[in-house]
Structure 1
Amino acid sequence: MNTRIFLQISPERRGIILYTSVTVTGIRGLPLIQKGDDLPRLIIDKCALEDGDIICVASTIISKAKGYSRHLKDIVPGDRAMRIANSTDEDPRFIQVVLDQACDILIETPFTLTEVPCGHVGVRSGVDASNVEDGLIITLPPDPMYEAEEIRRELKTLTRKDCGVIVTDTCGRSFRRGQIGHAIGWSGMSAIRDFRGDSDLFGKTLEITEEAVVDEIAGFANLIMGESNNGVPVVLFRGIPEWSGHDALYFSPEEDIIRKALKKV
């Protein structure tokens, strides 16, 4: 049985209906994903889509279906991986995969903080050894934006419905305990809802307010997906109003003051 949560939200942007109902449904019953599985077809076998729906898909099952994985037994760690693993008390072969996936290393220890080519910054390059067979390591899709677009396109071909797709991954946060869902790829919507130029309650013009809507949706999706053995890698959102904005979710290196500070450490 699928899990459903009903919400009432009050969007404040002009041109949007004042009250609307949002339904959040965890899609259960999907099989354990194997390389070569057709994710869009498996999804529509478990739910009926409507125009405007947003589908959140855990990056792990995309990586499994596409074969983005490595076997520990095939990995030979280099000197840097050995040095980091000695400090973090981790398997140096695992750390080697982390380094292989990264395009930039921001911190080596006490945990390895990296940037991957798609722009996402996270701990250990998003490399995951949970919910997979022993000895197998799952890596993030190398191009999550393409994966989101591909799933969206195939869902539309199969159903004739125009849906948005968000690829999610779980990440920790600075200054807070616990992991939450983040969007690492999206299609069919803008990442950022841009309030700049709007007025606040007192008529003041907003100059810097930008809302990372895809991350907010991904965070709620992760609540439904769970972090252990829930078996809910896909979540359906229905009734979220459209928004306008842009896709510059990641700061450029020139804008990112935190990155600059870490580089000086």
Structure 2
Amino acid sequence: MRIEVWAPDGVPEVVAGDDLAGLVLAALADGAGGTGLADGDVVSVTSKVVSKAEGRTREGDREAAIDEESVRLVARRGATRIVRHRLGLTMAAAGVDASNVAAGSIVLLPLDPDASARSLRREIHARSGVNVGVIVTDTAGRAWREGQTDIAIGAAGLLVAEDFAGRTDPYGNQLAVTLPAVADELAGAAELAQGKLTGRPVAVVRGRTDLVLPPGEDGPGAASLVRADGHDLFGWGAREAVVRALAGVAADRRPFGAPVPEDELRAALGRLPDRSDRTAVEAVCFAHGWQVDAWESDVVFRVSPATT
């Protein structure tokens, strides 16, 4: 197995209405009349240049733009906001970026990164005859880890994940939940060649032709990697989860997930130092998808699964 990654210099500043496919092909041209691409390559483009070409750059208040692009707050630490973006992505500042853009301007994420990837893939194939996969990338932080890495927020013509569930390893152990997010791994590899301050928004990853789909098959897109709200174990930040559970507002239930089995709820309630504390009991029930229907004494109450 050998993987090659390269990112060309010379991509001009992209503005609204630019022919992105033309710019990509020109940047990758091999100088001998060829495209520099081969069937099975994966072309990676940053969301920044896609957004610029699609007119997603504007002047204005960054904080207001974050509000517009966010579905809900996940966590806040001082001025830093982690939000659930309208695309389902959980990220800092809703992906609103003020870097690599004219002072006073901001760039929003593409309206539909998967659609952007599909369009770019079709144009590359139509103009060059080469069948490639395309990913649109953006930078994201990681829970439990310092620093950031690039992920695929859009994809076309590509298997975005490899499902190993049900297979056996060389020792005969059956794999249960192994699902490498290969689109994100490709995005991270591309970023190593692109860099952050070098003006190289396009990269090619070669060597994983097995992941690239035939022409006309775009695959599930990067949206398929986004967990549905309520399916994530960390739907709220630690502090926010405490406050939301105590407040008990019905609209805040979904990120806590579906109601747990009754024995799991009982175990959680059993950890309370004082089960006569109605506020604590109701908060624990709320966080576990249940609700208190009635109190019959200081320590006896009736509960039922809550509905959202």
Deviations 1:209-242 (A, max 9, x none): 10000001101111111122x0110001112141
Q: Max radius of gyration: which structure?
A: 2
Does the 8 Å contact 2:74/2:236 carry over to 1? no
Amino acid paired to 2:188 = G
Cα RMSD for the two superposed structures: 1.8
Structure 2 runs not aligned, ≥5 long? 29-34, 213-218, 243-308
Does the 8 Å contact 2:75/2:237 carry over to 1? no
Tell me whether 1:184 sits opposite 2:153 in the alignment. Answer: yes
Does the 8 Å contact 1:225/1:232 carry over to 2? yes
Report SS of the residue matched to 2:162. strand
Amino acid paired to 1:257 = L
Corresponding residue of 1:94: 62
1:41-190 alignment runs, 5 A limit: 41-47=22-28, 48=35, 49-72=37-60, 93-110=61-78, 111-190=80-159
Identity of aligned residues (%): 35
Structure 1 runs not aligned, ≥5 long? 1-8, 10-20, 73-92
Inter-partner Cα distance in structure 2 for 1:198 and 1:22:
24
Does the 8 Å contact 2:135/2:155 carry over to 1? yes
Deviations 1:118-174 (A, max 9, x none): 221110001100110011100100211111111111111111111100000011222
- Quick check: which one's strand share is greater? 1
Tell me whether 1:200 sits opposite 2:169 in the alignment. Answer: yes
Does the 8 Å contact 1:193/1:246 carry over to 2? no
Amino acid paired to 2:202 = V
Give the drift of 1:261: 6.0
Corresponding residue of 2:225: 249
Does the 8 Å contact 2:41/2:209 carry over to 1? no
Which structure exhibits the higher relative contact order, with contacts defined as CA atoms closer than 8 Å and separated by 6 or more residues?
Answer: 1
Give the drift of 1:70: 1.9
Taking a change above 3 Å as real, the CA distance of residues 231 and 62 of structure 1, as seen in their structure-2 partners, is same
Inter-partner Cα distance in structure 1 for 2:39 and 2:237:
44
Inter-partner Cα distance in structure 2 for 1:210 and 1:66:
32
Q: Compare 112-121 and 211-220 and name the one that shifted more.
A: 112-121
Report SS of the residue matched to 1:242. helix
TM-score, length basis structure 2: 0.69
Report SS of the residue matched to 1:148. helix
Q: How many residues align structurally?
A: 225
Inter-partner Cα distance in structure 1 for 2:142 and 2:12:
31
Tell me whether 1:32 sits opposite 2:9 in the alignment. Answer: no
Report SS of the residue matched to 1:108. strand
